[in-house]
Amino acid sequence: MDSAGVIDDERTALLEAIEEALRPLMRAAFAYGVSYQDLVEVVRALYIFALRERNELQGRPADPTRLGMMAGVTRREVVKLVVTRQEREQQRQLVLKRIDQISLLLGRWHDDPGFSTPYGAPLDLSLQPEGSFRLFDDLIRASGTELDRDTALDVLLTNRCAELHAG
């Protein structure tokens, strides 16, 4: 067998290994409504970003034109993939920031004696001044977050961390 045959056998074995690695994920992909096109886009992006990383490690140019030529796609497709990834990363960072801020708010509500009982149970808060109730807005300010009232309430209610009672 010549060296080309060995390389083809190794390439085939690698592709089979990739297929076997992805096979267990297919059930989850179907459950989440992931389409064939979604999978193609994920693999395309992964290939482009891995190619860019390899070029950068080797000290070679990794501009969209070069990556497109190496991958057999247009420069426009490479730019679109990069922009989409950046947008997704920004969204992920916003979500993580919101989670952090909600955690700070909940921590303050449970640990601050001004907003909780001596046993750590959160006090009932009011959305507007009434009687001796502390205000929800005071909790937001005390937690030092950038959350606005509507966002904080929406997240807390959606995740069943709080209940809203009339009166």
- In tens, the pLDDT along 5-43 reads 777 899 999 999 999 999 999 999 999 999 999 999 999
User: Contact at 8 Å (CB) between 123 and 116?
Assistant: yes
pLDDT in tens, 62-105: 999 999 999 999 999 999 999 999 999 999 999 999 999 999 99
How far apart CA 47 and CA 11 sit, in angstroms, is 16
Instruction: Identify the pLDDT of residue 2.
Output: 64
Instruction: Sort strands 134-135 and 125-126 into parallel, antiparallel or unpaired.
Output: parallel
Sign (positive or negative) of CA dihedral 131, 118, 100, 25: negative
